[in-house]
Structure 1
């Protein structure tokens, strides 16, 4: 399922194809391979800040002269994007303010157009063709089937006048299921959502909760780098999900979105579960198991309520309400859970996000300081979640004129990013520049 939250992007592969080890390196943090997107879309929220074609972040982008909604670095980017953008351009002009297909619908529309114009194997399909993606249609529950049908209806509504002879509903149902199960979320260095894409070859990797590679993005190219020593012949493993949570939660997510239960070493040993579910010290008496289970149920419910509440329309009052939800849930969970417990950290992270949106820099910094160290313990080495937290905290410190702490945090972010993104990545160059500017 394409992830529209701040979580890690994911893709469920088809059956593993032997021979992928030819991309492996014995050296940690050396590029494994790079893969251009087969198809991609920039999220609507980032229009005007990023180029629609190359996803570059810069000032001075110029608008498409027709729809006035797509932005580009230059004429070359506009020309490069036109074969795909012309589809949306016509639809946006026709529907005006009523044009509102979901990101998944937009991506599928572009895939259909690409399939009609590209008959040969693309550079992103060196090993796996997009049509070979797993769909798992037979495993969809009624709720997912309804979502699939809603997406098909939206595709017909917004694009039937602009795409001649759309595939039949059965073919569309399979395509939407393939994209939902194999799509990647492209994120920036702070894990802000930039867009969605499909990378067939990258989707070949199986999942592990202790991955030996990590996927990052350079524009619309996925780059896969080793974060552990990998010997020739060993399988490469990516993570499909946010690895913060305990084993039971991770497998619930994997089963719900990708239809399998993980049997990796981390899941069989559950080595981090005790630390992730840390109970408050110095309680008058240890909580009973049922009390802990009850609090976990409460935590999961409030996480889901928060997710739904983020879509309310009244921005100011809603953010105050969201912050209140975060504080109230932390107070209730804090009766049993330690501050390092992952459910506490989840709500702290959400509260930090609300504070950042409301420009409450001190509040955001306070939450970030509580989060960053436990993140370093709970996440695997070279985690982008840890890097992004150090990066946010470092930039907050500098904004609040706490120079020494800011540089220290940025350097910790940089140490991870140089491995995960590569030393030549423009995000790495930006962070180095921020550090140099403080000297």
Structure 2
């Protein structure tokens, strides 16, 4: 972080410390780079447990046989914490504890190692004790999660633990301040605590985004930010209607967002829209259980149709909540192709139910098509994948902010598919669109942007070659 770019001061409304621009910032500026205070790799990820690299050959710890490292350098660096947890991993049964349990256990180790004194030179926190917990606001579900974690933690660490109250406070800090660490394509691969980055507040219309290079977090401006304006990121997936986003923020972070996007009624109506039974036009949502008239033919939505919509949305919600962990398990099994075929059938069945009922801009429909795309790629059904990717990008552009990293990533995926299928002109067009976003969200030095430039160069060469070859044949 350049000291002149940011400043931390109390918010006039919340009275809490927030991050503000100390000078005018432009879109694409990198305003904060931070190494993690503590990290934990997702359970089903086959990566280095220290740097999160996905190299093919990993070195496994010969003692616990649980943690993997890409080389001896990573293994030595990890040993500072692993030398204590190695015995716990050997004793723990069954399997390996969740990433949350590992993260909490590592935070307990670090709290003993580092002083609680903070560095006030830049007014950024540099100790865990300065992060908010909000454990006093826990609902029953969160309390049950803590009880479950406490049981697993005792099984993992033994009885040498702080008091339950101290652990409750720590669990609150983890749930309120941890970041999902993502790979270059924005897929979560682990969790981490970043002390300085945790000071950035949430907005559903953020002016900054968080991108990871390995386990290092990079905060970049995605809009022009004036001096004295607060810098914000998004804590949650923005492709949800405002009432769902508000519930998610309240349940995990205990606040209500009042940004401009939360007042945008039209976007909410589109995210929950359904298809008209009469003309197949878009019917905008009014609230959870009622709809406006069809925007094309003015037909009203009948009660039976509303009941059908709510049933399909509930089925979609339930399946989507379970799918991520299931997909990770599929990737770790030997019969991958057969499992992916079964998953394709599952998502296809849901998609058929949704078709003609949920509009293509309904978030449940978008997510289902996105899952179908992911499965099609894993099955190497490239034509299906291209068709699905084209449907997804239309909705992404409508429902996400203009400079959202997922739009750039998905455009790059589309370009790769077009390139693979020999549509070089279309690939170049998508690459340019992806470049316009990724150079802002990821930066010119990010491996994703370098990958984009390489594909673009290949596409240009191949387009010229095949064009020349075709011309020669004509002559």
What is the TM-score of this pair, normalised by structure 1?
0.86
Q: CA deviation at 1:333?
A: 3.0
Q: CA deviation at 1:359?
A: 3.4
Q: CA deviation at 1:179?
A: 0.4
Q: In the TM superposition, what whole-angstrom CA distance separates every residue of 1:131-164 from its partner, at most 9, and x where no partner exists?
A: 2322222322222211111111111101227xxx
Residues 206-221 of structure 1: matches in 2 within 5 Å?
206-221=201-216
Q: Distance in 2 between matches of 1:289 and 1:309?
A: 32
| Larger relative contact order (Cα-Cα within 8 Å, sequence gap ≥ 6) | 1
Q: CA deviation at 1:187?
A: 0.6
Q: CA deviation at 1:294?
A: 5.6
2:218 aligned counterpart, secondary structure: strand
Residues 168-317 of structure 1: matches in 2 within 5 Å?
168-280=163-275, 282-283=279-280, 286-288=299-301, 291-292=305-306, 295-296=309-310, 298-308=312-322
Residues 72-151 of structure 1: matches in 2 within 5 Å?
72-95=69-92, 98-119=94-115, 127-128=124-125, 129-151=127-149
Greater CA radius of gyration, 1 or 2? 2
Q: Distance in 2 between matches of 1:79 and 1:100?
A: 21
Check 1:353–1:121 CA distance in 2 against 1; reply closer, same or farther (3 A cut).
Answer: farther
Q: CA deviation at 1:415?
A: 2.2
Query: Could you tell me which residue of structure 1 aligns to residue 32 of structure 2?
Result: 33
What is the TM-score of this pair, normalised by structure 2?
0.80
Q: Are the aligned partners of 2:22 and 2:227 in contact in 1 as well (CA < 8 Å)?
A: no
Check 1:409–1:159 CA distance in 2 against 1; reply closer, same or farther (3 A cut).
Answer: farther
Q: CA deviation at 1:183?
A: 0.8
Query: Is the aligned partner of 1:326 residue 2:320?
Result: no
Q: Are the aligned partners of 2:275 and 2:359 in contact in 1 as well (CA < 8 Å)?
A: yes
Structure 1: unaligned runs, 5 residues or longer = 1-12
Q: Distance in 2 between matches of 1:245 and 1:296?
A: 16
2:239 aligned counterpart, secondary structure: coil
Range 344-353 or range 56-65, more displaced: 56-65
Q: In the TM superposition, what whole-angstrom CA distance separates every residue of 1:35-67 from its partner, at most 9, and x where no partner exists?
A: 2111012223332xx432223343444333434
Q: Distance in 2 between matches of 1:145 and 1:19?
A: 28
Q: In the TM superposition, what whole-angstrom CA distance separates every residue of 1:250-302 from its partner, at most 9, and x where no partner exists?
A: 22222222222211111123242233334436247734275447614531442
Q: Distance in 2 between matches of 1:18 and 1:112?
A: 25
Pick the aligned partner of 1:419 from 421, 437, 440: 440
Q: Distance in 2 between matches of 1:118 and 1:56?
A: 27
Q: Distance in 2 between matches of 1:24 and 1:18?
A: 18
Q: Are the aligned partners of 1:287 and 1:336 in contact in 2 as well (CA < 8 Å)?
A: no
Q: Distance in 2 between matches of 1:229 and 1:245?
A: 25
Residues 151-166 of structure 1: matches in 2 within 5 Å?
151-160=149-158, 165-166=160-161
> How many aligned residue pairs are there?
421
2:436 aligned counterpart, secondary structure: helix
Q: CA deviation at 1:19?
A: 6.9
Query: Could you tell me which residue of structure 2 aligns to residue 386 of structure 1?
Result: 407
2:26 aligned counterpart, secondary structure: coil
Check 1:272–1:400 CA distance in 2 against 1; reply closer, same or farther (3 A cut).
Answer: same
Q: Are the aligned partners of 1:205 and 1:237 in contact in 2 as well (CA < 8 Å)?
A: yes
Query: Is the aligned partner of 1:397 residue 2:418?
Result: yes
Q: Distance in 1 between matches of 2:368 and 2:18?
A: 43
1:340 aligned counterpart, secondary structure: coil
Q: CA deviation at 1:356?
A: 2.8
Q: Are the aligned partners of 1:41 and 1:103 in contact in 2 as well (CA < 8 Å)?
A: yes
Query: Could you tell me which residue of structure 2 aligns to residue 372 of structure 1?
Result: 393
RMSD of the alignment, in Å?
A: 3.0
Check 1:40–1:347 CA distance in 2 against 1; reply closer, same or farther (3 A cut).
Answer: same
Q: CA deviation at 1:104?
A: 0.5
Q: Distance in 1 between matches of 2:218 and 2:180?
A: 13
Q: Distance in 2 between matches of 1:22 and 1:409?
A: 33
Q: Distance in 2 between matches of 1:307 and 1:322?
A: 14
Q: Are the aligned partners of 1:310 and 1:322 in contact in 2 as well (CA < 8 Å)?
A: no
Check 1:301–1:406 CA distance in 2 against 1; reply closer, same or farther (3 A cut).
Answer: same
Check 1:309–1:373 CA distance in 2 against 1; reply closer, same or farther (3 A cut).
Answer: closer
Query: Could you tell me which residue of structure 1 aligns to residue 365 of structure 2?
Result: 344
Check 1:46–1:249 CA distance in 2 against 1; reply closer, same or farther (3 A cut).
Answer: same
Check 1:119–1:339 CA distance in 2 against 1; reply closer, same or farther (3 A cut).
Answer: same
Q: CA deviation at 1:27?
A: 1.9
Q: Are the aligned partners of 1:133 and 1:182 in contact in 2 as well (CA < 8 Å)?
A: yes
